[in-house]
Structure 1
Amino acid sequence: MAKDKFNSELVRELAELLNDTGLTEIEYGQDDWHVRVAKNVTVNATAAPVAAAPVAGAAAAPAQDEADASNHPGAVTSPMVGVAYLSPDPDSPNFVNVGDSVTEGQTLCLVEAMKVFNPIHAPKAGKVSRILVNSGAPVEFGDALFIIE
């Protein structure tokens, strides 16, 4: 595609892909051109108190606490952008709970990305001291999900 020729069909296909996958942004390109398609996403104001519920303290504490958790030596971080699920399905118990002992390679949660459920495994044996994500919550690459001591 030449720089001066706009391909509206490509933009429509990328926008449809955004809707189909639940992504908020996609970029595609070749050689000397690229196109980025993004959509606005509004966050429900009630989501913040739900995310803050497990953490006591000031409203600014969860963001600071999460940033600190990512640097924790026992942090298990998300390897991708997606939606985290703590159990295999809504009617099943969580893979792990706070206080559980885990073995290296044990499944801790699932991260759904592009309609594929990716298991997140414990990188080492230890005890789950914190769960930093709620089931069904969106996660970004590098977000701390668990702390294993």
Structure 2
Amino acid sequence: MDIKEIQSLIKFVAKSGASEVKLEMEDIKITIRTGSDAVAPETTIVQQIPMAQAPAAPVMQAPAAGEPVAPQVSEPAAASEDSKYITIKSPIIGTFYRKPSPDKPVFVEVGSTINPGDVLCVIEAMKLFNDIESEVAGKIVKVLVDDSSPVEFDQPLFLVDPS
């Protein structure tokens, strides 16, 4: 990743309204924090990871300020109920859109039957619109993200009933 890509990422994060974004790749680790105060400057930390180190296990991220916090698995009934569903997650950071354009209908609704390769939504990242396609067949049970809202990498987008 070169400096221009890092600068573009900083600008994107600042526009998205996220307070902190962490990006980890094989040889580089980037944390971008934006302050909510107008006088607080953006802070970028770039850390080189030694190549001899084994790839780290995925790290769970705390929700950004202002996001609702999902309850921990305190209700076994709800957990077992959701366990039969497949979660479709965001492959990238960006802005989630349910429609291809404002005047078009949504790609999928709750209850829609989907097949592998069907477009479920679009995620805009740095002025590029990326079609997010289904990798599974089933029925959409729940849409977990509001239209035109920012999403993070690996954030759940849809629940799908594979049966």
Alignment TM-score, normalising by the size of structure 1: 0.60
Counterpart of 2:156?
144
Matched with 2:44 is none
| CA positional deviation for 1:64 | 2.8
Q: CA RMSD in A?
A: 3.8
Q: Name the residue aligned to 2:71.
A: 64
Secondary structure, counterpart of 1:19 in structure 2: helix
Q: Is the Cα contact below 8 Å between 2:8 and 2:126 reproduced in 1?
A: no
User: What corresponds to 2:95 in structure 1?
Assistant: 83
| C-alpha contact (below 8 Å) 1:132/1:144 kept by paired residues | yes
Question: 2:105 is matched with which residue?
Answer: 93
**Please, which runs of 5 or more residues in structure 2 have no aligned partner?**
38-63, 73-78
Matched residue, 1:3: none
User: What per-residue deviation string (whole Å, max 9, x for no partner) do you get for residues 58-88 of structure 1?
Assistant: xx6x6238xx699764100001111100000
Percent pairwise identity: 32
- 1:133 lines up with 2:133 in the alignment: no
Q: Does the C-alpha gap of structure 1 residues 72 and 92 become closer, same or farther in structure 2, counting only changes over 3 Å?
A: same
- Paired with 1:143 and 1:108, the residues of 2 have a C-alpha distance of 15
Cα drift, residue 37 of structure 1 = 5.7
Shift in Å at residue 91 of structure 1?
1.3
Task: Name the one with the larger helix percent.
Answer: 1
TM-fit CA distance, 1:19: 3.1
| Cα distance change, pair 77–36 in 1 and its aligned pair in 2 (3 A) | closer
Q: Secondary structure at the match of 2:71?
A: helix
Distance 1:64 1:40, change over 3 A: same
Alpha carbons of structure 1 residues 128 and 17: separation in structure 2 relative to 1, 3 Å: closer
Aligned residues: 118
For the pair shown, which has the larger CA radius of gyration, 1 or 2?
1
Describe the SS at the equivalent of 2:96: strand
Within a 5 Å distance, the mapping from 1:1-149 to structure 2 comes to 18-19=10-11, 22=15, 38-41=33-36, 63-64=70-71, 73-149=85-161
Q: Following the alignment from structure 2 to structure 1, what is the Cα–Cα distance between the partners of residues 138 and 11? A: 40
Equivalent-residue separation in structure 2 for 1:35 and 1:127 (angstroms): 37
Rounded to whole Å, the distance in 2 between the matches of 1:139 and 1:35 is 18
Question: How far apart, in 2, do the equivalents of 1:89 and 1:135 lie?
Answer: 12
Give the equivalent residue in structure 2 for 1:54: none
